[in-house]
Amino acid sequence: MSVGTDLLDLQELDLALARSRAELADMPEIKALARKRKAYLKLKDEALRLMGRRKDLQTELADLDQDERDCRQAVDDAQRGCVDPSDYDEVQRLELELSDLAKELDKIAFAREELTRRLAEATEQEAQAADYLERYERAIKSDAQAARDKASKLQQEIDDAERRRSALCARIPEDFLAEYERCLKSFNGLAVERLDGAVPSLCRMTLTESSLSDLSREEGITHCPYCHRMLILSEEA
Ligand SMILES: [Zn+2]
């Protein structure tokens, strides 16, 4: 392998590395996951709210049961009391009391019907929300696993490329390597071009025969008289 070929390979490797690093740093899967986690927290809040509503309705029903027991006890108490049947006022007072209690029991029965209906509705909504939340959670976990797999594959590619880069750099003479690094910075990642016939591969400015023969060269490598990148004239060792 000539130094020129090694430099061109190094440039390919550096371009691939930059792409992999950018891809890893900017994975759309990570942003999508963050959005889904936010949505999941909202769903969780909603599920908690529905559970709270169902519990409130159960408490209301339990209170209603207590009211009914109190009411029936009051009816029993009223009926057990001794009333003198000849005392018109007392008989009328008892009838009135029993009639009020019967109305109260009607109200309780009506309220129970309404509450039972709302409780069934709330229980159904709570179950649906819990089911949706569970499925959403499973989807997030599987997305997270896929993102981790993709990231670790990218990291593996980066590690491999870095190892190949070290091996390549180890056999490129130091002064060429230093010049490559300098050009890499100056030319934003495209430091080296090769000569295709009389045309450099990056700037595409045709070299005249005299300008070609004027170029100083070492290991078949010079600088392009137009763009000043490293120019590989020959890749033969
Ligand atoms: Zn050039």
pLDDT in tens, 159-207: 999 999 999 999 999 999 999 999 999 999 899 999 999 999 999 999 9
CATH of residue 87's domain is 1.10.287
For the chain, give me the number of helices (H) and strands (E)?
A: 5, 4
First to last CA, the chain: 6
185 and 135 fall within a common domain: no
Distance 236 CA to ligand 1 centre (A): 20
Distance 220 CA to ligand 1 centre (A): 15
Residue 36, both tokens: 């889904």
Distance 13 CA to ligand 1 centre (A): 20
Provide the pLDDT for residue 237.
64
44 belongs to a structural domain: yes
Most confident of 3-7, 79-83, 210-214: 3-7
15 belongs to a structural domain: no
DSSP secondary structure code for residue 15 in this structure: H
Cβ-in-10-Å burial (0-12, 13-18, 19+) of 183 comes to buried
Which among 145, 171, 197 is the end of a domain?
171
80 belongs to a structural domain: yes
160 and 225 fall within a common domain: no
SS3 content of the chain, % helix, strand, coil (to 5): 75, 5, 20
Considering the chain, what is the average pLDDT of its residues? 94
Q: Note down the domain range covering 126.
A: 28-171
pLDDT in tens, 75-97: 999 888 877 888 899 899 999 99
- Given a cut of 90, whether residue 218 has pLDDT beyond it is no
Does residue 168 contact residue 180 with C-beta atoms inside 8 Å? no
Average pLDDT over residues 100-122: 97
7 belongs to a structural domain: no
Q: Comparing 72 with 235, which gets the higher pLDDT?
A: 72
Distance 204 CA to ligand 1 centre (A): 7
Distance 196 CA to ligand 1 centre (A): 11
Residue 170, both tokens: 């180890």
Distance 203 CA to ligand 1 centre (A): 4
Distance 225 CA to ligand 1 centre (A): 7
Provide the pLDDT for residue 236.
78
Residue 89, both tokens: 């006022």
Distance 68 CA to ligand 1 centre (A): 96
- Given a cut of 80, whether residue 1 has pLDDT beyond it is no
Residues, the chain, total? Answer: 237
183 and 163 fall within a common domain: no
Using 50, 70 and 90 to split pLDDT, how confident is the model at 135? very high
Q: Please give the biggest Cα pair distance in the chain.
A: 142
Which residues contact residue 11 at a Cβ distance below 8 angstroms, ignoring those fewer than 6 apart? 180, 190, 191, 192
pLDDT in tens, 7-66: 999 999 999 999 999 999 999 999 999 999 999 999 999 999 999 999 999 999 999 999
Residue 6, both tokens: 């090694």
Q: Structurally, how many domains does the chain consist of?
A: 2
73 and 164 fall within a common domain: yes
Average pLDDT over residues 65-80: 94
Report the alpha-carbon distance of residue 178 to residue 219 in Å, rounded. 15
Report the alpha-carbon distance of residue 52 to residue 55 in Å, rounded. 5
